[in-house]
Amino acid sequence: MKFLQDYLKKEPVERFVVGLPKQTNGKDSDNLPRVRDFVNKLAKSFPGIPIDLWDERYTSVLAHQTMLQSGIGKKARQNKALVDEISATIILQGWMEGRGNL
């Protein structure tokens, strides 16, 4: 939350988009309670900013495919932080496309 507080002091934020962890069959994943806890803390910390949840199924797979297609080396593809960053970009892109913003 500290990072977000500092970020919001410098940049305007209209809303938060958070990945919603689902299993491939559409049921909630084991990680969902942690995400819900995070979303609740986010809502309490920033009550004026709306939060949208977006299905994050297959984003890690798409991130790995993107990394392969871009020619990123094997060692970099094993970097979870990089996979998460690309996955977050894919989530945001999907959210924007779903709302007609692209």
- 3-state DSSP assignment of residue 68: helix
Q: Could you tell me if 15 and 34 lie in one domain?
A: yes
Residue 18: CATH number of its domain: 3.30.420.140
Q: Cα separations (Å) of 9 from 3, 6, 13, 39, 65? A: 10, 5, 10, 20, 35
pLDDT band for 99, please (50, 70, 90 cuts).
Answer: confident
**Count of domains in the chain?**
2
Domain that holds residue 87: 58-102
Going by pLDDT thresholds of 50, 70 and 90, the confidence category of residue 74 is confident
Q: How many CB atoms lie within 10 A of CB 44?
A: 9
Residues 64 and 28 both lie in one domain = no
pTM of the predicted protein model:
0.80
Residues 23 and 66 both lie in one domain: no
Mean pLDDT across 73-97: 87
**Calpha distance 12→76 (Å, rounded):** 32
